Amino acid sequence: MSEDLLVQRLRDRDESAMTLFYEKYSAALYGVILRIVKKEEIAEDVLQESLVKIWNSFQAYDASKGRLFTWVLNVSRNLAIDKIRSRQYRVGTRTQPIEESAALRQAATPTFRPEHIGVQEMTNKLAPEQKQIIDLLYFGGFTQSEVAEELNLPLGTVKTRARAAIKVLAKLIR
């Protein structure tokens, strides 16, 4: 089928023409999208979004400005770029499920004991009010809100003392 006939059928909202369009262009579009987003499942989603957008906005295609493939490639490429710029994508690529973590597959050496790092001993060098907060937060498993409630302090005070304590500990570690 010629490109002109395909364009006309798509303008006429012929759903079978969309099937032909998919067969003709989807592999190339998927390849371009995958190079941008780098993950197959995301590329599949972006391809699907692209096809829906192409179908819904096909009246915007102007054959006098370029070939159909160029137009659909730009639509798909722009959606892929929008995806990688999205906050959801950026956050998703920074974190990975714990099941996929390389650390999970590596056994700790039998002699490794976290307390040997010495951080808990370093807290003895903190001011008493800072030590109390760090002990509850990091060794007691409390949240900042829980520490504030436990010690009957304003949440802002807990945050300030924790931040100051962490700065002192950072200097001690260096």
The CATH number of the domain holding residue 164 is 1.10.10.10
- Residue 45 resides in a domain: yes
- Statement to judge: residues 59 and 8 lie in one domain: yes
- Residue 88 resides in a domain: yes
Least confident of 82-91, 134-143, 159-168: 82-91
- Statement to judge: residues 8 and 86 lie in one domain: yes
**Strand runs (DSSP E) across the chain, as ranges?**
none
pLDDT at position 7 is 87
* Residue whose entry in the numeric block shows the structure tokens 């597959």: 105
Does 89 have pLDDT greater than 80?
no
- Statement to judge: residues 83 and 139 lie in one domain: no
- Residue 65 resides in a domain: yes
Residue 43 has a CB neighbour count (10 Å cut-off) of: 22
- Statement to judge: residues 153 and 86 lie in one domain: no
Does 105 have pLDDT greater than 90?
no
Count CA atoms closer than 13 A to 113's CA, side-chain side: 5
Query: How many structural domains is the chain composed of?
Result: 2
Q: How far apart are CA 58 and CA 60, in angstroms?
A: 5
- Statement to judge: residues 87 and 8 lie in one domain: yes
* Residue whose entry in the numeric block shows the structure tokens 């780098």: 38
- Residue 39's alpha-carbon distances to 29, 56, 99, 172, in angstroms, are 14, 26, 18, 42
- 146-169 confidence digits (pLDDT tens): 889 889 999 999 999 999 988 988
Percent of the chain with pLDDT over 70: 82
Does 113 have pLDDT greater than 60?
no
Confidence grade of residue 50 (pLDDT, cut at 50, 70, 90): very high
The range of the structural domain enclosing residue 153 comes to: 125-173
Which domain-ending residue is among 92, 110, 141?
Answer: 92
* Non-local CB neighbours of 65 within 8 Å, separated by 6+ positions: 71
* pTM of the entire predicted model: 0.51
